[in-house]
Amino acid sequence: MSELSGTSTGSFGGRSPTSHERMSGQPWDASYRDGPAPWDIGGPQPAVVRVAQAGGFTGTVLDAGCGSGENALFIAALGVDVVGVDVAATALALGREKAAERGLGVEFVEGDAFDLGRLGRRFDTVLDCGLFHSCDQDERPRYVASLASVTAPGASLYVLCFSDDGTELGPHPVSRDKVEAAFAPATGWAIADIGRDRIHTTFQENGVAAWLVTILRVGG
Ligand SMILES: C[S@@+](CC[C@H](N)C(=O)[O-])C[C@H]1O[C@@H](n2cnc3c(N)ncnc32)[C@H](O)[C@@H]1O
């Protein structure tokens, strides 16, 4: 029997299971309970390192769906204020442990990225490494609006997501058209760049096909 059987919202801190959780039959948290999740490579994603080297992370940074925090911790080590938000309590506990070990001050917060307004915070830069591609077509507009609710015009958003264009595809490959539709002008976001990239995993040496999308908050 799946961990979701017979639950409505009780095991999810008042939120509904995401489409990914309904599909997999497990809460996201389960991915972190028995050793590293496949995406948990023990360091930042190379694409995130390149964004940092280009000076992309400024002001207060939100890492939406931060997992066990390797990207957030890497950004914090550059002297940037970072808040990591995730629904997986086990991942957040791992992140807090690593932050303590490394002497870094990342704030790890349990929260729903589809309802970020509840944080009552504003961010200058947002990183999404691996969350957007797990959203189905009903969740995408809600998530994009949620990101808008915690940013003001001038903010930047970096999305690293599985792509359907390239070799070795991830489990939820997203087309360029779907990325463009999700951040259409009416959403208050404008895509500045979509580049081919890779998401590295614990079991694929060269990673899988990804988009690195640079998006600007323009209004609305
Ligand atoms: C593929 S993992 C990537 C984790 C991390 N960004 C990394 O690169 O290691 C996706 C993460 O998004 C989180 N997540 C999924 N849906 C979420 C939601 N609605 N709100 C907050 N976090 C969510 C999951 O718990 C998981 O940690």
User: Could you tell me the two tokens for 53?
Assistant: 């080297």
- Return the pLDDT at 3: 60
114-178-23 Cα angle (round to 5) = 55
Ligand 1 midpoint to CA 36 (Å): 14
Print pLDDT tens along the chain (220 aa).
456 544 444 467 678 999 999 999 999 999 999 999 999 999 999 999 999 999 999 999 999 999 999 999 999 999 999 999 999 999 999 999 999 999 999 999 999 999 999 999 999 999 999 999 999 999 999 999 999 999 999 999 999 999 999 888 888 899 999 999 999 999 999 999 999 999 999 988 889 999 999 999 998 7
Residue 3 lies in a domain: no
48-50-56 Cα angle (round to 5) = 80
Residue 11 lies in a domain: no
Residue 87 lies in a domain: yes
Which CATH number does the domain housing residue 200 bear?
A: 3.40.50.150
- Return the pLDDT at 2: 53
Q: What is the DSSP letter of 29?
A: G
Structurally, the chain folds into a number of domains equal to 1
- Return the pLDDT at 93: 98
- Return the pLDDT at 8: 42
CA distance 220 to 212: 24
Domain that residue 60 falls in: 25-217
Residue 12 lies in a domain: no
Ligand 1 midpoint to CA 50 (Å): 21
Residue 38 lies in a domain: yes
Residue 167 lies in a domain: yes
pTM: 0.95
Run of H or E residues at 38? none
Atom of ligand 1 nearest to the CA of 139: 19
CA distance 115 to 112: 5
Please indicate whether residue 87, judged by its CB atom, sits closer than 6 Å to ligand 1.
Answer: yes
Residue 32 lies in a domain: yes
- Return the pLDDT at 12: 72
- Return the pLDDT at 11: 60
Ligand 1 midpoint to CA 42 (Å): 15
- Tell me which of 63, 74, 86, 161 to substitute to probe ligand 1's pocket, judged by most ligand atoms within 8 Å of the beta carbon: 86
Q: Among candidates 75, 81, 82, which has minimal Cα distance to 52?
A: 75
CA distance 108 to 55: 23
CA distance 60 to 95: 18
- Tell me which of 28, 94, 116, 136 to substitute to probe ligand 1's pocket, judged by most ligand atoms within 8 Å of the beta carbon: 28
